[in-house]
Homo-oligomer: A and B are copies of this chain.
Amino acid sequence: MKRKNGFLGKDILSVDQFSKEDLTFLFRKTTLMKKIVEAGKKSKMLQGKIMTVLFYEPSSRTFGSFISAMQRLGGGIIPLQGMTYSSVAKGETLEDTIRTFECYSDIIVIRHPEVGSAKKAALVSTVPIINAGDGVGEHPTQALLDLFTILSKFKKIDGLKVAFVGDLLNGRTVHSLSKLLAKMGKVEFFFVAPKILRMPQEIKDQLKNRVSIIEAEKLDEVIKKVNVLYITRVQKERFSDLSIYENIKNFYIITKKLMEKARKDLILMHPLPRVGEISTEVDNDSRAVYLTEQMRNGLYVRMALLAATLGKIK
């Protein structure tokens, strides 16, 4: 059965919007994009198309990834970092800014510190909006690239053991990815976090009918069991009682020594930037994918998403 492009002309706002079929379609196209880039092929798929990249807060990684994706497919860019200093300073609403750039471009990628801003943009826009992070809200393309990375490695999700480690209370990345994984199959989750930074009950409620969840405060037993170890940062600023932070912080740092306990078929992931959560001595471990596959998949997924949204793949 040929799958339909469910992305054509659609906004990409939240992982909640994707069906399993959508994801299967997108990842088949992502694999295609990977081949194009790896073969050094020139693609003109999006020639003549223009993408506005409207960033209200800095993020060179996501910014660069989208910009590369568009140009790898022959498209053009309106690169706008530091929007805060421009029209915003003149008092213009987000809605007016969006209606401006829908006139100049075929798709708008937006990053904004306020939750719901991408949705607000989508409500007035006639061109597709891609949410590239709306504060503590969502960052769906991060979750997509993470899921693609896991699927590429393990082929199937059923029975997969996935540990999320660090600040699971505030991490939009782990919330989104856990929901996507649960959509794809019967995954076993290990949520490893300090007590005050545990996965929100609301997310667990959404997941629990479909998956098994084990919660822990320490990593040393969990690391022996899991296929995927997904690390996020525990920020000092989250703790009102710093003695608690000092007590626990080292439990969440991935070292070479700790990696010795892990499975041979593990993959170690991180959304980056990292600030010490994974020791650099681990970077050359073949199981570490955060600076290699995971990063490159960000490019491929975004290429596929742009092409699908703009109707250039079927």
A residues lining the B interface (CB < 8 Å): 40-43, 47-48, 50, 52, 58-61, 63-65, 67-68, 71-72, 76-83, 85-87, 89-93, 95-97, 99-101, 103-105, 272-275, 280, 291-292, 295-296, 298-299
Contact = CB atoms under 8 A, between A and B. Distances in A.
13 contacts: A40-B48, A58-B86, A59-B86, A60-B100, A64-B78, A81-B86, A90-B273, A91-B275, A96-B273, A96-B291, A100-B291, A103-B298, A103-B299
Q: What is the oligomeric copy number?
A: 3
A104 B68 contact: yes
Contact of A61 (B42, B65, B100, B105): B100
A68 B104 CA distance: 6
Contacts of A59: 86-87
B48 A42 contact: yes
Most central of A58, A97, A298 by chain B CB within 10 Å: A58
A60 B83 contact: yes
Given A42-B48, A96-B274, A100-B295, A78 B68 contact: yes
Contacts of A101: 64
Contact of A77 (B41, B71, B296): B71
A64 B52 contact: yes
